[in-house]
Amino acid sequence: MRAVVIREHGGPEVLRVETVPDPVPGPGEVVVRVRACALNHLDLWVRRGLPGAPFHLPATTGADVSGEVHAVGAGVDDLEAGLPVMVMPGVSCGHCPQCVAGQDQLCPRYQLLGESRPGGLAELVCVPRANIVRKPDRLDHPSAAALSLTFLTAWHMLVARAQLRGGETVLVQAGGSGVGTAAIQIARFLGATVITTAGSDDKLDAARALGADHAVNYRTEDFVKRVKALTGGRGVDVVFEHVGGETFEKSLRCLAWAGRLVTCGATTGVDARVNLRHIFFKSQSILGSTMGSKAEYHQLVALYERGLFEAVVDKVFPLDAIAEAEELLESRQVFGKIVVEP
């Protein structure tokens, strides 16, 4: 099969499309013919390399897969070849206390496709049967791929961790990103008032069209002042953070008393200042969040099938244009997701 292979850390020039052996399914495994794979910042981090992060090379990245069943291993008797499927991107052991409790994203042996095991930027990918979910008929493959990791991450952040409720107000940072577009839709679904930030007027318009009540250009406005003005000086109940260094301190300043900041990443850096007096005096919370459970993924796929959420796909690239696709993602000139078709 053809696959994107990274043999050394670096820029887009280290991405090579090579011919590699086809994966063979072991017991309880499924090989999926990849029809679409959406990109995430995870792909950039693995390619660049991070201090202290054990990204083993050579690597094939790509966490968000939609495709068709190609082959099954022993013990898999409920899937037929050609069935359109989506792939849950997190792989866990299935038998530790966290997995048994339905919190498999906390499994000590948790792995992500494209990070610690071969991913979907290839013609074929092999995953456990437990990671396979039938693709809703209403979704084409690029849309199905675009809905996986970002919606699962945003759902777990807002529903499980921040416990966002109807009538509350949420600030979604970087609303034009993949996870930001997911958070806007989920927050609206939950009945919250949504304020979001973006770096261009075009992105602000697109965010409003997606359901944001208010959109703030962080390049031309002080978003803290704007949030306070929009909330009558109170601040927001929840901040949806994933930007990190550039915004984290200001995001905390947007919180109301007893507000919750939930974060899943730090695309602009991991160092941030925290005024602890505000945290304890105002009874505020800082919540970390990574991915979500398989049960949550099944719940989301059911909502996709009902048409309650929509994929936001900016551009679709062929596998041979992977370097161009990642350069576009790095440029931050994207609204929604970039998808690659092997």
Question: Which residues in the chain are classed under CATH 3.90.180.10?
Answer: 2-147+311-341
Residue 233, classed as helix, strand or coil, is coil
Percent of the chain exceeding pLDDT 90 equals 91
Indicate the pTM of the whole model. 0.95
For 68-89, b/e burial (b = at least 16 CB within 10 A) is bbbbbbeebeeeeeebbbbbbb
Looking at residue 205, its pLDDT comes to: 96
With a cut of 80, say whether residue 54 has pLDDT above it.
no
Q: With bands split at pLDDT 50, 70 and 90, how would you rate the model's confidence at 275?
A: confident
Looking at residue 97, its pLDDT comes to: 97
Q: With bands split at pLDDT 50, 70 and 90, how would you rate the model's confidence at 245?
A: confident
Tell me what the mean pLDDT of segment 295-323 comes to.
96
Tell me what the mean pLDDT of segment 308-337 comes to.
96
With a cut of 80, say whether residue 109 has pLDDT above it.
yes
Looking at residue 43, its pLDDT comes to: 96
d(CA 178, CA 314): 10
With a cut of 80, say whether residue 162 has pLDDT above it.
yes
Tell me what the mean pLDDT of segment 159-167 comes to.
97
274, HSE (Cβ side, Cα atoms, 13 Å): 10
CATH topology classification for 151-288: Rossmann fold (3.40.50)
**Domain range 2-147+311-341, CATH class:** alpha beta
Tell me what the mean pLDDT of segment 65-83 comes to.
97
Looking at residue 276, its pLDDT comes to: 86
Q: With bands split at pLDDT 50, 70 and 90, how would you rate the model's confidence at 255?
A: very high
Tell me what the mean pLDDT of segment 150-169 comes to.
97
With a cut of 90, say whether residue 342 has pLDDT above it.
yes
Looking at residue 231, its pLDDT comes to: 98
Looking at residue 122, its pLDDT comes to: 98
| Structure tokens that stand for 230 in this block | 């929009």
| Structure tokens that stand for 262 in this block | 């939930």
How many beta carbons lie within 10 A of that of residue 58, not counting itself?
13
Cβ atoms of 243 and 267 within 8 Å: the answer is: yes
- Diameter of the chain by CA atoms? 61
Considering the chain, what is the average pLDDT of its residues? 95
Tell me what the mean pLDDT of segment 240-267 comes to.
92
Tell me what the mean pLDDT of segment 283-295 comes to.
95
Tell me what the mean pLDDT of segment 273-299 comes to.
93
With a cut of 80, say whether residue 228 has pLDDT above it.
yes
Tell me what the mean pLDDT of segment 75-80 comes to.
96
Looking at residue 52, its pLDDT comes to: 76
Closest CA to 211 of 239, 231, 235, 183: 183
Tell me what the mean pLDDT of segment 309-337 comes to.
96
Question: Which residues in the chain are classed under CATH 3.40.50.720?
Answer: 151-288
Tell me what the mean pLDDT of segment 302-306 comes to.
95
